[in-house]
Structure 1
């Protein structure tokens, strides 16, 4: 996927190339159709800078890069258009409103399927299995998804910790090291606490996995693995369904590759739950 390629090479790009890259990722339709000269004029850089971006990403030239952009754009466009949704809630009467919301969620999930990078997902899965500890950060509205993942992952492995919705404690992260994983949930409007936690985790050499809406979000740029929900959707609201679906994918992967240890842990937990009489059924 083109956005993933940009993210992986972003730090090595020149300031002008970064401007072009961000423009194309955010305006994929224009990147798919405009010439290098036209993009340069829109962004405020030379045509040469646009062409050099293609070389920096490993393409043989601008036309080769544009072909990759066009494929990504068309796949996302087809995923949305196949749903036949109304263009906005303003055009929707009360009778159609709830159908509109569900159709939009379905379009976002279809886009999630199209953009899913399985190599990155398996990299995250292996990191969760091998880590000595997992620290989960979610602030403001992102805390709800972060807590869901915290509760679910705690059923599967030990040493799982979570931030508070308003911030994190330095005492909780002082033990992070190169064997640790920090998971950051960061969606618009991006909270400053996420960046602060990412920077501290980097200094302690922990692996950072970000759950965010686009590869080039503030936290997405810093993370070792960035898993995105609504890349290219231009959604006017954030979908919690897409986040939970992505987390379900991770949980399924962890179950698949760590069955025996998970089974042993869940047997111990069930024994404790039964002894405490926690559940009605």
Structure 2
């Protein structure tokens, strides 16, 4: 079962054949799937009023090999169906005011841990090789994914000669920036639930032109993965007021570092030249300036 709505459709189709306890579970999930997704089998059983074993059997009857598999299907359903208001309501139910800091930090740490366990290292290596061979690198991320795209673009513009950050507010502008793409280019599409239509359209456009495509997204069920096998999967929070993009940022950091390692000599020379420019034009505040400011401040106090 890989379609988002298969779980609910399956529950409805089998509803009449379920036992009394299983029907209670079915009704609860149909009406409260955004809450059920966060419950363990034992907790879901307590909420509905059935045993944990009934919950496990219910998942098996629906065709899953256990409750965790059914819960993953629920995750896919929730993250694509909740609007911003519903996401807020779920977050308010999950987090108490006094626990916000620790809860959010623990959640972000969990996303990085899960990403580390699940990411396809072969796909990552393919992505690095594809980027290194590309004539032009296109980077696209909109809405909450825009900061990720801008961060990647900042470093890639230092490392590579031909990098284009796609910035658009309309479909026509999007395709105007993409129409020169060729088969020896690469486009990196970044999107997380709720997925951007413009990013999907851009990858479809690139696919028709046989352009190399790399995606950074949250799941193989993401619509972005339909256009390429080079998918870098990074976990994000499926139901939160704000998108948790800590894990995607870590994957992007790894991409930048890996590319730099492959181009060590060139990257070192580039940064040596940049350091001279930064120093000449005082781009960064240095220790000498700080010391001088402190001396002036002290002299003024002594007067």
Structure 1 length-normalised TM: 0.67
Q: Does 1:219 align with 2:242?
A: no
Instruction: Single out whichever of 258-267 and 145-154 deviates more from structure 2.
Output: 258-267
User: 2:178: which partner in 1?
Assistant: 173
User: 1:149: which partner in 2?
Assistant: 152
User: 1:185: which partner in 2?
Assistant: 190
Q: Deviations over 1:207-253 (max 9, x none)?
A: 1111111112111221341111127x755452121121111111121
Tell me how far apart the structure 2 counterparts of residues 36 and 94 of structure 1 sit (CA, whole Å).
34
Q: Does 1:134 align with 2:121?
A: no
- CA RMSD of superposed structures (Å): 3.5
Which secondary structure state, in structure 2, belongs to the residue aligned with residue 216 of structure 1? Answer: coil
Aligned residue-pair number: 222
Note closer, same or farther for the CA distance 1:264–1:224 as it changes in structure 2 (3 Å cut).
farther
Structure 1 segments, 4+ long, off by >6 Å, are: 33-37
Structure 2 length-normalised TM: 0.62
Tell me how far apart the structure 2 counterparts of residues 115 and 91 of structure 1 sit (CA, whole Å).
25
Q: Is the 8 A contact 1:20 1:39 kept in 2?
A: no
Tell me how far apart the structure 2 counterparts of residues 247 and 178 of structure 1 sit (CA, whole Å).
23
Q: Provide structure 1 residue ranges, at least 5 long, that are not aligned to the other structure.
A: 1-16, 43-65, 74-86
* Higher radius of gyration, 1 or 2: 2
Note closer, same or farther for the CA distance 1:260–1:164 as it changes in structure 2 (3 Å cut).
same
Q: Provide structure 2 residue ranges, at least 5 long, that are not aligned to the other structure.
A: 8-36, 42-55, 73-89, 287-303
Q: Does 1:241 align with 2:264?
A: no
How far did 1:136 drift?
A: 0.5
User: 1:77: which partner in 2?
Assistant: none
Q: Is the 8 A contact 2:141 2:199 kept in 1?
A: yes
Which secondary structure state, in structure 1, belongs to the residue aligned with residue 177 of structure 2? Answer: helix
Tell me how far apart the structure 1 counterparts of residues 239 and 59 of structure 2 sit (CA, whole Å).
27
Q: Is the 8 A contact 1:157 1:262 kept in 2?
A: no
Q: Deviations over 1:47-97 (max 9, x none)?
A: xxxxxxxxxxxxxxxxxxx69x97xx8xxxxxxxxxxxxx96536443222
The one of 117, 120, 130 aligned to 2:120: 117
How far did 1:172 drift?
A: 2.8
